[in-house]
Structure 1
Amino acid sequence: MSRNRKAGTVTILPNLSIIDIAEEGKGVAKSDELVVFVEKAVPGDVVDVRIVKKKKNFAEAVIETLHTGSDLRTDPFCQHFGTCGGCKWQHMQYDAQLTFKQKSVEAALQRLAKIDTSAMEPILGSAENKYYRNKLEYTFSNKRWLNQQDMGDSENLEMNALGFHVPLRFDKILDIQHCYLQAEPSNTLRNQVRNYALRKGLTFYDLRNHEGNLRNLIIRTSSTGEVMVVVVFAYIEQEQVDEMMAYLQTEFPEVTSLQYIINQKKNDTIFDQEIITWSGRDYIFEEMNGLKFKIGAKSFYQTNSLQAHELYKITKEFAGLTGDELVYDLYTGAGTIANFVAGSVKQVVGIEYVPTAIEDAKFNAELNGIENTLFYAGDMKDILTGTFIAEHGKPDVVITDPPRAGMHADVVARLLEMEAEKIVYVSCNAATQARDLALLKEKYDVVRIKPVDMFPHTQHVENVVLLKLHVD
């Protein structure tokens, strides 16, 4: 039995062996009857940990001393590792990341849905595990996150920052020098925008007091080489806006869509904001499988373009399409999956909550000469009614790709009533997927399971499940 060493109010647990990874990405150890979740720990580590939060049966801790490093460890590649909330697993070898993602999906399906996962297929890793994102959103702040070194040089401190929120600190922004998530010109653009703002004396947004000139910077790129930049201003003179946009247009001629927003709300969402195009189009094009997709500033599109193609190929394969099916695509977003499978079916009916996404879906269908898709905007549980199904026909296949919260109980109930022969359920949250699968088991069997890694160096994982209607 290990002994706790206390220094003041600090509790140290010595020589803990990290035995697993929890769903939220922390290492797992056991001390007596206590389960300990350890930040930045890797299975195979032997560590002393400092308790930062304790409950009855579990505690959260950080590493105080690393006695033995796991064979699964590797050197982090980013200078911001440990402070930034992204890429939290970059200190773990990529093959090991895939192993633990597979285990996390398996555990969720077994524990929450009581599903036999013996036929679960190996996870599909991402061919690119750096610079794989096609969209990043940065935040301006006049309250930069300070590390120990910064605090030692407080007299010459630059408090303005352009970067990412520090986890659990809504008002503190980590000033990013180089990010490994998005390829160039992303890093150069961000750094040049920051430098321009500092030279011109533009004020960075105060997240507590809601004042300042500059609020957000959104950069989208595509596999076609196109680039979109959206600058979000707050309280600023139009002349200053014009000067910055002219600067970006001159310095970055490769930007094919240059836009801006004036957002003076108290939240950062842009879906209710007017977007003004400064130069180029108000969208960029993405290509996949010979299809073109229009991507606007508000568009929904998988952030890992290359891996999205693999995900959709698996979805289509699971559906087993023969050319004569009626397919319902639930939570269709910009119609990417619907248009992807349209050439292999008789008709696709897509439903999505966000009206602007449905407009994109219709545009994308027309752009690609696809004539067998229908798209509807509205709340899924309100649209997917008996009357709707009677009008459009009972689907042979349902493809559903809901948000992290999963499907509304009314939608699951409607699926059980419809009794489509097959359901292909794509999810970014194995726990909520398992909850829905437990309900669908009333009439469906899970016959195939395939995890897909869309987000390397994080604990997040997509999962594709094929369900077939019980045979009487």
Structure 2
Amino acid sequence: MGRRHRKKIPQGLFKATIESLSHEGRGVTHVDDKVVFVDNALPGEEVEFNYVSTRAKFSEGVTENVISASDQRIEPGCEYFGYCGGCSLQHMSAEAQIEHKQSVLLEQFTHLGNVTPKEVMPPLTGPVFGYRHKARLGVKYVIKKERVLVGFREKRSPFIADIKHCEVVHPDVGHKISDLQALIENLSIKDQIPQIEVAVSDNGIALVMRHLAEFTEDDLDQLKSFEQKHNFKFYLQPGGYETVHRLDESDKSELFYRLDDHDLNIYFQPIDFTQINVEINQKMINLALELLDVNENDNVLDLFCGVGNFTLPIARKAKSVVGIEGDEGLVQRAKHNADMNNIDNVEFYAADLADFDQDYDFMKKSYNKILLDPARTGAKEIIAALNTKNVERIVYVSCNPATLARDAGILVNEKKFKLKKAGVMDMFPHTAHVESIAVFTK
């Protein structure tokens, strides 16, 4: 069998008029009847680009010069845009970004679910910089540079971007990238630290440092000094998630975020899943409760409930709530949150929501309203298994418009619900990530 040869990448600059945007936010054009996806290009623009890859059915390129700019084009807010892979849409106005995301959602409803919402809700928007309260930053000691790099990956590369600050991560961390680099460079195991997990709470900033070798006493002293100076809370992770522990073992405080509208403190561990964008999360919870139309007679099922982000606000208004989550640790945190907030009309259970071979007790109960907030893979299995005979209303929060559209098709075309309203939420500005919400009624 002959060796497969890579297609030769065309060299030089090529002119093109951008026809549309892909779902990922890349410009779409055609050169010699072949589709080319062009980074940093907007519809209607005439650009010069160079090729970075070519395949049988499409090629990829990067804009080098904008000959004729779109009205949607703005100056990026970060000097590293285009090089760092943390953002992909900073060249596009915030209004145009959310409009594009809404069009992606509606297109997916039509093509994948064969459904159309009766009403498209106005988008939920919030801050476009400094919004990330959770992040995973890569760390790499580069021998040739004799420097430690901390940040996101380079665009189209596995290498860590050489940056000094990040404008989308909470500024108390994003503006201290250089300080973190200098700290790690002075540690004895600077080449054995692959990543830092960031979790910003209302009572502190947690930095979970993954390390592949043991710290020396001097290393630990430097970490303690650094966290005191910058008001951080270091957690160490020598192995799996179960090994995460506080550097300062005398600090027994718990991370939490406040939901003022519902008089709740939600406690969590730094590696737990929590929403990245705090302001959008507050608005999203309020919108979900409005769409669910919760009242004191409702028995509500909250699927993929996590630490109780939706469950506990719902419990403030409903007769009863059952929260289901696949991660036993998150279930324990959710129960703890109910206790800490003196809520007694809620139950939490751990269950594999993609496997219904087991006869779960929660499946035997009757609910009149359901909220779902699944991972990117969606909720196809649970929707198929649920008895929705008595269910009046379902609110579906999604981080993937494709699986939301697929599941909407099941709810509408098989379960006989109506897709009453849907809309997008700007959870991840400057990225192609689409967060959305939909309500289904009988």
For the criterion TM > 0.5, the same-fold answer is yes
Partners of 1:57 and 1:39 lie apart in 2 by 17
Shift of 1:250: 3.4
Could you tell me which residue of structure 2 aligns to residue 259 of structure 1? 235
Aligned residue in 1 for 2:151: 163
Partner of 2:197: 218
Query: CA 1:168/1:62 → structure 2, altered by over 3 Å: closer, same or farther?
Result: closer
User: 1:402-417 residue pairs with structure 2 within 5 A?
Assistant: 402-407=374-379, 409-415=380-386
Correspondence 1:139 to 2:115? no
1:75 is matched with which residue? 75
Report the Cα distance in structure 2 between the residues aligned to 1:75 and 1:217, rounded to whole angstroms: 30
2:49 and 2:64 in contact (8 A); partners too = yes
Please tell me the residue identity of whatever aligns with 1:400: L
Equivalent in the alignment of 1:456: 429
In structure 1, what is the Cα distance between the partners aligned to 2:111 and 2:363? 37
Is 1:439–2:410 an aligned residue pair? yes
Partner residue, 1:193: 180
1-side partners of 2:315 and 2:177: how far apart? Answer: 38
User: RCO greater where, 1 or 2, for CA within 8 Å and sep 6 or more?
Assistant: 2
> How high is the TM-score relative to the length of structure 2?
0.90
Output aligned runs, 1:30-49, within 5 Å. Answer: 30-31=30-31, 33-49=33-49
Alignment of 1:248 with 2:218, yes or no, is no
- Name the CA distance, whole Å, in 2 between partners of 1:101 and 1:43: 14
RMSD of aligned alpha carbons = 2.4
What is the DSSP-based 3-state SS (H/G/I as helix, E as strand, rest coil) of the residue aligned with 1:174?
A: coil
Kindly provide the CA deviation profile for residues 333-373 of structure 1, in whole angstroms up to 9, marking residues without a partner as x: 11110001111111110111111111111111111111111
Counterpart in 2 of 1:327?
Answer: 300
Q: TM-score, normalised by structure 1?
A: 0.84
1:425 pairs with 2:396: yes
Deviation at 1:396, TM superposition (A): 0.5
Q: Please, which runs of 5 or more residues in structure 2 have no aligned partner?
A: 1-7
Per-residue deviation, 1:244: 2.5
Q: Distance in 2 between matches of 1:184 and 1:371?
A: 38
Deviation at 1:109, TM superposition (A): 0.8
CA distance in 1, matches of 2:313, 2:357: 22
Alignment of 1:36-435 (within 5 A): 36-117=36-117, 119-126=119-126, 128-143=127-142, 157-170=145-158, 172-187=159-174, 189-198=176-185, 200=186, 202-205=188-191, 212=192, 214-222=193-201, 224-252=202-230, 254-255=231-232, 257-263=233-239, 270-278=240-248, 279-281=250-252, 283-288=254-259, 289=261, 290-382=263-355, 388-389=361-362, 391=364, 393-407=365-379, 409-415=380-386, 420-435=391-406
Q: Helix, strand or coil: the match of 2:376?
A: coil
Aligned AA (1:47): V
Alpha-carbon shift at residue 187 of structure 1 (Å): 3.5
> What amino acid is the match of 2:163?
I
1:274-309 deviation line (CA, Å, top 9, x unaligned)? 424415235312101221011212222101011101
Residue identity in the other structure for 1:38: V
Q: Please tell me the residue identity of whatever aligns with 1:399.
A: L
After superposition, give the CA deviation of every residue in 1:387-446 in whole Å (9 maximum; x if it has no partner). 52464x211011000001112x43121135555221111101101111111122212111
Residues 68 and 306 of structure 1, relative CA distance in 2, 3 Å threshold: same
In the alignment of these two chains, the number of paired residues is 430
Q: By how many angstroms is 1:94 displaced?
A: 1.0
Cα contact 1:18–1:28 (8 A) shared by 2: yes
Indicate how the Cα distance of structure 1 residues 130 and 273 shifts in structure 2: closer, same or farther if over 3 A, else same: same
Q: Report how far residue 318 of structure 1 moved.
A: 0.9
Instruction: Output one character per residue of 1:245-275: Cα deviation in whole Å (capped at 9) or x when no partner.
Output: 32224323x33x4322223xxxxxx424342
- Check whether the contact 1:41–1:63 (CA below 8 A) recurs between aligned residues: yes
C-alpha distance after superposition, 1:294-337 (max 9, x if no partner): 12122221010111011111111111112211111000011110
1:451 aligned partner, one-letter code: V
